[in-house]
């Protein structure tokens, strides 16, 4: 059973994520009076996701190596749960967009443009969210590993990688569905990389399918 204490711990360790989720949920709820349930849910998702991305990237840009290590060491076992929840939510957002595309044929003019704009923003937001949340998780796994050998080996023998190194690693997987020139040195890390690679393949396939669908719809009209 979910306890208030566990929520407080989650809010303390992941304040940006909790705040963004709350804003997204409240926004979706507020929009229900004007829009259909699925439309309000998709817009609420976008508001929450892009708010989180702005806040976490603002942190990443300003963080030095000491901040990176401090943030990673503050993470607890909830980090894996958060990663799983975010990935499930991102997949659900793509499913919602697929359902929404079925109504696009009935729209015209600016309404159709706005519909496709929301579609593109949802897909991009979900893709960036997954890459970012995996980068943060890789940071946590690297700096909390108990092994003598680091779970990731960077080509320049960097012993204290920063967020940009982990973002490079994560988004290479997200974009190319393969690892970069960074070596994976432990089995636990390989499990996470495998899950990320499979999810990246599904995302890229979905993006390709949605792109073809939108292009065919535009050409047909």
**DSSP bridge pairs for 184:** 152
Residue 163 has pLDDT above 70, yes or no: yes
Q: Which residues contact 3 (CB under 8 A, 6 or more apart)?
A: none
Question: What percent of the chain is predicted at pLDDT more than 70?
Answer: 88
The mean pLDDT of 51-57, rounded to a whole number, is 94
For 83-131, write each residue's pLDDT tens digit: 777 878 878 877 777 777 766 666 666 777 787 788 888 888 989 999 9
Token readout for 111 is: 């309404």
List the beta bridge partners of residue 153: 183
Query: Could you give the C-alpha distances from 165 to 74, 82, 127, 149, in angstroms and in order?
Result: 19, 22, 18, 18
- State both tokens at 135: 């980068």
d(CA 71, CA 63): 10
Check if the beta carbon of residue 48 is closer than 8 Å to that of residue 21: yes
Residue 145 in tokens: 């590993």
Q: What is the pLDDT of residue 5?
A: 42
Euclidean distance between CA atoms 16 and 152, whole angstroms = 26
Quickly state the pLDDT bin for 12 (edges 50, 70, 90).
confident
In tens, the pLDDT along 129-150 reads 999 999 999 999 999 888 778 8
The CA distance from 183 to 111, in Å, is 48
Virtual torsion, Cα 42, 47, 49, 51, nearest 10 deg: 180
Backbone angles phi, psi at 131, to 5 degrees: -60, -40
Q: How many CB atoms lie within 10 A of CB 58?
A: 11
The pLDDT, as a whole number, for residue 220 is 64
The closest of 87, 134, 127, 88 to 211, measured between CA atoms, is 127
DSSP 154: -
What pTM did the predictor assign?
A: 0.86
């Amino acid at each position: 059973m979910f306890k208030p204490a566990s929520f407080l711990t989650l809010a303390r360790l992941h304040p940006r994520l909790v705040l963004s989720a709350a804003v997204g949920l409240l926004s979706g709820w507020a929009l229900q009076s004007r829009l259909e349930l699925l439309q309000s849910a998709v817009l609420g998702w976008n508001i929450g996701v892009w708010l989180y991305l702005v806040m976490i990237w603002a942190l990443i840009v300003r963080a030095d190596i000491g901040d990176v290590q401090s943030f990673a060491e503050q993470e607890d076992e909830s980090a894996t749960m958060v990663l799983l929840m975010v990935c499930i939510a991102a997949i659900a957002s793509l499913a919602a967009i697929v359902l929404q595309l079925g109504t696009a044929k009935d729209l015209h003019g600016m309404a159709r443009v706005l519909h496709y704009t929301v579609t593109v923003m949802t897909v991009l937001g979900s893709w960036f969210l997954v890459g970012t949340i995996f980068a943060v998780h890789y940071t946590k796994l690297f700096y909390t590993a108990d092994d003598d050998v680091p779970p990731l080996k960077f080509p320049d023998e960097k012993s204290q990688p920063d967020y940009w190194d982990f973002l490079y690693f994560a988004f290479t997987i997200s974009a190319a569905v393969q690892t970069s020139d960074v070596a994976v040195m432990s089995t636990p890390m390989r499990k996470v990389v495998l899950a990320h690679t499979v999810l990246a393949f599904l995302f890229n396939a979905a993006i390709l399918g949605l792109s073809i669908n939108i292009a065919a719809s535009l050409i047909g009209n």
